[in-house]
C-alpha cells in the first residue's frame, strides 16, 4: 500500500494550514477576466470594491474549458502557442453567457471553477467527524493517509477481521475514505482488503458508499463575494456528516469482506495464459496504463510466477507501491478490484477460460 503522510497528525496539520489559506467565493462570470502569458494564466475577480488575482491551476483550466465548451486539446494548444487567443475565447464566452460560478482558491491559485450549486464537503470537517468513529472501532487503525492536489485519502485496516486465503497468507478487512474538494468525485467510503504478505491493498469500488457534492443554488448578485463563514458551513453540514459517520461505522462489513475473499480464492483457479507479456499488454490497452505502469506490473507478474487472475490482481496492486503519485497508486488499487470482478464474470460465461485473450 502506498504511504503518504507518516502520521494522521501530519495530515491534520496540513489540513489546518490549508484552511487558513483558502478562500471560496461566488462570482458572476462577467466579473472575471483571464490573462495568459508563457503558459501561465491568471484570473482576476472583481468584487466591486476590490480586484483579486489567482493563478489558474491545471484542474481549473480543464473545468473552464469544459464549462465553456472548448475542446481541451484546442484549449491547451492556445494556452501554449497563442495565449492571447485563449484569453479572447475565455473572456468572450464568460461575458456572452453570464452565470454564477463557485471559485475555490488556495495559496493564490484558482484550484476549482465549479457550479454555484456545488456543496462544499471539506476535508477538515470530514476528518473531524470520522476520526472519533475510527478510534471507537475495535482493532481499526489508519494504515495510510495523504492529501494531494485533488483528493484526501484515509486507508483504514481492521486487524480483528481477518482470514487466510491459503495457509499463512493472511488478509484483513478495511476501508478507504476519499474526498475531493474541487469537483473531481464524490465523498466515498470503499471496502478494502489488505494482504499482509506483500502489504498490498485492493479496493472494491463497486461496493462503495458515495455522497455527492450537490447543494442549493446561491442568491443572485452582480459581483463576486466570499462564500459563507466556516460556522455556517459547519452548521449546515452537521446532519450530512452524521450520515457519513454512520457509513464509516458500518464500513467494515464481514459479509462484503467474505464475498471478496471468496472471489480472491476463486481467482487462483482462473488462468491468464502462458504469455505474461501479452496479458499485460492487453490489460494496459484496456485500462490505459502508461509504459512505466505496464513495465512495473509485468515485472511483479513475472516475479510471482503466478499466471492466474489472482496473480495479475496482486501484480497490479503491488505495483501501486512503486507509483510516485498517490492518486494514481490508489487508482491501481481500484484496478485490482476491477480485474477481480471482471475475472469472476468472465469465468461464469466460459469456465476455465484464459483471462483477457485479446485487446478490448
Q: What is the pTM of this model?
A: 0.88
Which pLDDT does position 149 carry in this prediction?
93
Residue range 103-128, pLDDT digits in tens: 999 999 999 999 998 988 889 999 99
Residue range 152-168, pLDDT digits in tens: 999 999 999 999 999 99
Task: Give the confidence band of 312 by pLDDT, cuts at 50, 70, 90.
Answer: very high
- The C-alpha torsion from 223 through 228 and 230 to 235, rounded to 10°, is -170
Rounded to the nearest integer, the mean pLDDT of the chain is 89
Q: Residue 356's closest CA among 288, 299, 291, 273?
A: 273
Per the CB < 8 A criterion, the answer to whether 192 and 153 are in contact is no
Residue range 234-262, pLDDT digits in tens: 566 777 888 889 989 988 889 999 999 99
Amino acid at each position: 500500500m502506498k504511504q503518504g503522510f507518516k502520521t494522521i497528525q501530519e495530515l491534520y496539520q496540513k489540513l489546518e494550514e490549508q484552511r487558513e489559506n483558502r478562500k471560496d467565493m461566488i462570482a458572476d462570470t462577467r466579473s472575471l477576466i483571464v490573462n495568459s502569458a508563457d503558459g501561465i494564466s491568471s484570473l482576476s475577480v472583481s468584487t466591486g470594491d476590490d480586484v483579486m488575482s489567482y493563478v489558474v491551476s491545471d484542474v481549473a483550466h480543464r473545468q473552464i474549458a469544459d464549462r465553456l465548451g472548448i475542446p481541451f486539446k484546442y484549449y491547451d494548444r492556445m494556452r501554449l502557442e497563442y495565449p492571447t487567443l485563449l484569453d479572447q475565447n475565455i473572456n468572450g464566452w464568460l461575458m456572452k453567457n453570464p452565470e454564477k460560478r463557485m471559485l475555490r482558491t488556495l495559496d493564490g491559485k484558482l484550484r476549482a471553477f465549479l457550479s454555484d450549486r456545488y456543496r462544499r464537503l471539506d476535508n477538515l470537517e470530514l476528518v473531524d467527524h470520522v476520526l472519533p468513529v475510527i478510534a471507537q472501532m475495535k482493532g481499526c487503525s489508519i494504515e495510510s493517509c495523504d492529501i494531494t492536489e485533488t483528493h484526501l485519502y484515509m486507508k483504514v485496516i481492521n486487524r480483528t477481521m481477518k482470514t487466510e486465503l491459503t495457509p499463512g497468507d493472511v488478509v484483513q478487512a478495511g476501508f478507504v475514505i476519499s474526498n475531493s474538494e474541487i469537483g473531481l468525485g464524490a465523498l466515498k467510503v470503499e471496502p478494502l482488503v489488505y494482504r499482509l504478505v506483500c502489504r498490498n491493498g485492493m479496493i472494491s469500488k463497486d461496493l462503495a458508499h458515495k455522497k455527492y457534492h450537490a447543494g442549493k443554488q446561491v442568491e443572485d448578485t452582480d459581483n463576486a463575494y466570499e462564500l459563507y463563514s466556516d460556522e455556517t458551513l459547519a452548521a449546515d453540514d452537521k446532519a450530512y456528516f452524521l450520515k457519513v459517520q454512520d457509513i464509516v461505522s458500518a464500513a467494515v462489513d464481514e459479509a462484503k469482506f467474505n464475498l471478496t475473499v471468496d472471489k480472491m480464492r476463486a481467482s487462483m483457479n482462473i488462468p491468464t495464459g502462458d504469455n505474461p507479456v501479452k496479458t499485460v499488454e492487453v490489460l494496459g490497452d484496456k485500462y490505459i496504463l502508461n509504459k512505466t505502469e505496464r513495465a512495473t506490473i509485468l515485472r511483479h507478474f513475472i516475479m510471482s510466477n503466478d499466471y492466474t487472475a489472482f496473480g495479475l490482481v496482486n501484480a497490479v496492486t503491488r505495483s501501486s507501491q512503486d507509483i510516485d503519485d498517490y492518486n494514481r497508486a490508489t487508482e491501481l488499487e481500484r484496478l485490482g478490484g476491477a480485474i477481480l470482478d471482471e475475472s469472476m464474470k468472465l469465468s461464469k460465461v466460459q469456465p476455465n477460460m484464459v483471462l483477457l485473450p485479446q485487446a478490448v
